[in-house]
Amino acid sequence: MGSVYRRGRIWWIKYADHGKPICESSKSETKMVANSLLKQREGEISQGKIPGVYFDRIEFDELAGDYLRDYRINNRKSLKRAVTSVNNLEAEFKGMKVKQINSSTIQTFVEKRMEVVENATINRELQALKRMLNLGAQCTPPKVDRVPHIPMLKENKPRKGFFEHADFVALLEVLPSYLNAPAEFAYKTGWRQSEVFGLEWSQVDRDQGIVCLNPGETKNDQGRTVYLDDDLKELFQKQWEARKRSGKLCRYVFPDLSGNEKIGDIAWAWRKACKAAGIPGKLWHDFRRTAVRNMVRAGIPERVAMMISGHQTRSVFERYNIVSDGDLKQASARMAAHLKAQTSRTATVLATIGPAI
């Protein structure tokens, strides 16, 4: 049996969990509150549950640390994004007891974030919070006794930007010289920016005209092989010759302006070039969508196109195979021509039959 006693003006309770004595403050000056808490704890123990006092001590910071540790142990490629999400969550939850993380405190966080970022960003942060809580609940012994319902926000439809060929040609004319070659490669293959900038000569067979990404080097960890067409072979040959002339022997196929390092942040140079080309707002990722669409229009089987671009699921692939204004105009013109031909044939048939009697 447990007992209640006073320390100063505050009532405390004492009970045993598997023979281990536990003292816990009721945080109240009323004995009835302490008795109620004691009954609650004894009830939890009798049902084989962990007494709530253990959960009361866990803070958000501990769960956040466990969450990032899980990312590092499993070598997840999105660790950088996870760290960013944790930093943003800390603004609201740092030092907060996990028991205090509930629907109300989560809604407060969401309202504050909606003032500065889009719903998609908030959802990534809410997913991180949910993952933290679930990891805590899965611990042995558990650190979380319940995971609150965390609803996701409605997001805008996925971006559907792409390059028309004339836009791409105009962009090449104003891009910094060191970005021209990687842009051409991305435009044709649909590879991600990190995959293009990180491509090394050890992954290139110039004699056979093959470029390979080994398993584990891509976002989905699957390997990938691309056979270079004549234009890309020539492009890679020029990169190789420039490497030899520089004498720096950089390991990257597409080095930075110095010719010796991997290309870093291009945000400023990219925005400036897009503005000069008359296509402000374009993203490097639009090359990915464009390449997929161009491959499908060229008659390349979808499965082959997916193997080149590195898309793993067809749902994402279909989202990129988008329709431009030019496609819609062409469809309208074809429909008009079809109906005109139908009208002409009908008129010919009626003329042959003659007037109705």
**How far, rounded to the nearest angstrom, does the alpha carbon of residue 121 sit from its chain's CA centroid?**
10
- Give the closest residue to 204 by CA, choosing from 247, 262, 254: 254
Give residues with Cβ within 8 angstroms of 164, minimum separation 6: 324, 326
Give the start-end residues of each E strand in 148-261: 204-205, 210-213, 224-227
Q: What does the pLDDT read at residue 312?
A: 66
Instruction: Write the DSSP assignment of 99-138 as a string of letters.
Output: GG-SHHHHHHHHHHHHTTS-HHHHHHHHHHHHHHHHHHHH
Structure tokens at 339: 């109906």
**DSSP character at residue 257:** T
Q: What is the pTM of this model?
A: 0.58
Q: What are the pLDDT digits (tens) for 182-214? A: 999 999 998 989 899 999 999 999 999 999 887
Segment 5-21 shows an average pLDDT of 82
Q: What are the pLDDT digits (tens) for 266-294? A: 999 999 999 999 999 899 999 988 888 88
> Above 90 in pLDDT, residue 254?
yes
Which CATH number applies to 165-320: 1.20.80.30, 3.30.70.270, 1.10.443.10, 1.10.260.40? 1.10.443.10
Q: Rounded to whole angstroms, what are the CA distances from 46 to 24, 49, 81, 133, 147?
A: 18, 7, 43, 25, 23
For residue 204, list its beta bridge partners: 211
Cα–Cα distance, 95 to 101 (Å, whole number): 11
Q: What are the pLDDT digits (tens) for 104-144? A: 999 999 999 999 888 989 999 999 999 999 999 898 878 88
Contact 98, 58 (CB under 8 A): yes
Segment 208-226 shows an average pLDDT of 73
